[in-house]
Amino acid sequence: MNKKIGFLAFAVVFVFLFLSAMYMHPFGEPNEKDMDNHFIEKGQNDTGANNIVTSVVFDYRGYDTLGEATVLFTAVTGVAVAFSMAYGKKKEMKEMSKIVRTVTNILYSFIIIFGFYIIMHGHLTPGGGFQGGAVVASAFALLVISYSALKIKGILKKENFSVSECSGLFAFIALAFLGISTAFFYNFLAGGTVFGNIPAGINPGDLNTGGVIPLMNIAVGVEVLSGIGLIILYMFTYGKEAKE
Amino acid sequence: MIQHFPFIAVVILIGLGIYACMFKRNLIKIVIGVSLIESGVNLFLITLGYVKGGVAPIYTNAPGTNMVLPTPQALTLTSIVIGLATTALMLSFAVLIYKHYSSIDAKTRRLKG
Amino acid sequence: MIEDFAQIMVLLIIISTAYLAIKLKDLLGAVISLSIMSLLLSLEFYILQAPDVAIAEAGIGAGLTTAIYVLAIRGTKRMEEG
């Protein structure tokens, strides 16, 4: 009886979604474009960044990015609390074969450098703090998986990651508060001397532009890489004793 | 009908996700269902902002100035990171439930304490 | 013309891998199918002229989410019963 009511409710919701998909605007011709036309025409002059999406994320709608950084921080705290209850003795874990360890030795420094390149050039090419932080966290996951977690305990410590995550979030909030004389999240470095040039039109991209956006990219990148590194370390060292 | 096809693909993805959330009993299958709903919503946001014949909204060596809308891309970036955060938290709860109750079924036991 | 054909093919494979992800009883196979869906979704984002979102989805969805799922399956059972 309950299953029949469940199927009926699911069918009603699915038909409603399908009918509303047929009544959407034709694919490729959106209706209201006034706000986005303003961002495309005046974004380069106001903020000084070539990448309009990064300027929308960090300058025009920076308050949403503050909420996103807070949600990531809260999730890392929740995982740490869930796995910190006493779990008993740890079992011995095996490490991977010699081919995997050799390839890891060569590759992991290049992945970390590539991740920092993506973080640093966020205002010129596609990229930014979140994407680069995810790439560097993948390098940490590669290290933890190919050597057993007991050997990595001396190199990647949980306390170092915790300190760098808190300092990254604190630097992001401090940069948002520094322009408070005009507005919260005001870009007070555009037009100045440090990261201050303002480009015009289609140009090859100069690193000295963007105002306060490259500094915010670095702060968010440090926070994301240490937060996701912490999640992977906690789940790797504590997940195995659940089986007897 | 062909010109609405991305929107129909979004509806099918969200429908599969809701089916997995409602009618599956394993906890990890339920988390896979939530992840499918989030992927469907991200695809819908990017499809809303597409302009036919437009290029990516970046001025560095751009091939033209008829650009797609940048605001839905910013919202989708936030949504992807929040999806990762909620998936990590839900999976850590699933591991904790298995440790305490030795069963990963969603219907056999009422959680105590 | 060729972009329309590529877009329809990628969307069809996304739908079929999503269906496989909820039908397989081996949980490790379901998670690998979810990872393939995430990679093809990143390709679809690139076809729709959104390179920022494509990098984020490839790095976070196809890499880190799959790693966290496999670590969670390691702490619980592998096969779904019933």
Q: What is the pLDDT of residues A109-138, one digit of tens each?
A: 999 999 999 999 999 999 999 999 999 999
- Chain C contact set for B54 (CB, 8 A): 49
Angle subtended at Cα C26 by Cα C22 and Cα C30, rounded to the nearest 5 degrees? 40
Residue A167: pLDDT over 80 = yes
Contact check, Cβ <8 Å, B58/A56: no
Q: What is the pLDDT of residues B52-102, one digit of tens each?
A: 888 999 988 888 888 999 999 999 999 999 999 999 999 999 998 888 888
Nearest CA in chain C to B93: C72
B43: contact with A, CB 8 A cutoff = no
Please tell me the predicted confidence (pLDDT) of residue C38: 96
The region of weakest confidence among A56-65, A185-194, A215-224, B73-82 is A185-194
Please tell me the predicted confidence (pLDDT) of residue A235: 87
A36: contact with B, CB 8 A cutoff = yes
Nearest CA in chain B to C19: B16
Distance from CA of A125 to the nearest CA of C (A): 9
Joined tokens for residue A242? 């659940």
Question: Per DSSP, what are the bridge partners of residue B58?
Answer: A51
Tell me if C79 sits within 8 A of C26, measured CB to CB.
Answer: yes
Tell me if C66 sits within 8 A of C35, measured CB to CB.
Answer: yes
B58: contact with A, CB 8 A cutoff = yes
The region of weakest confidence among A23-27, A34-38, A198-202 is A198-202
Where do the domains of chain B lie, and which CATH numbers do they carry?
Answer: 2-101 (1.10.287.3510)
- The pLDDT mean for chain B works out to 90
Joined tokens for residue A161? 């990651």
Residue A92: pLDDT over 80 = no
Residue A243: pLDDT over 60 = no
Angle subtended at Cα A177 by Cα A175 and Cα A181, rounded to the nearest 5 degrees? 125
Interface size A-B, in CB pairs within 8 Å, comes to 148
Q: What is the pLDDT of residues A42-52, one digit of tens each?
A: 888 888 889 99
Q: How confident is the model at residue A229 (pLDDT cuts 50, 70, 90)?
A: very high
B26: contact with A, CB 8 A cutoff = no
Q: What is the pLDDT of residues C12-33, one digit of tens each?
A: 999 999 999 999 999 999 999 9
Please tell me the predicted confidence (pLDDT) of residue A52: 92
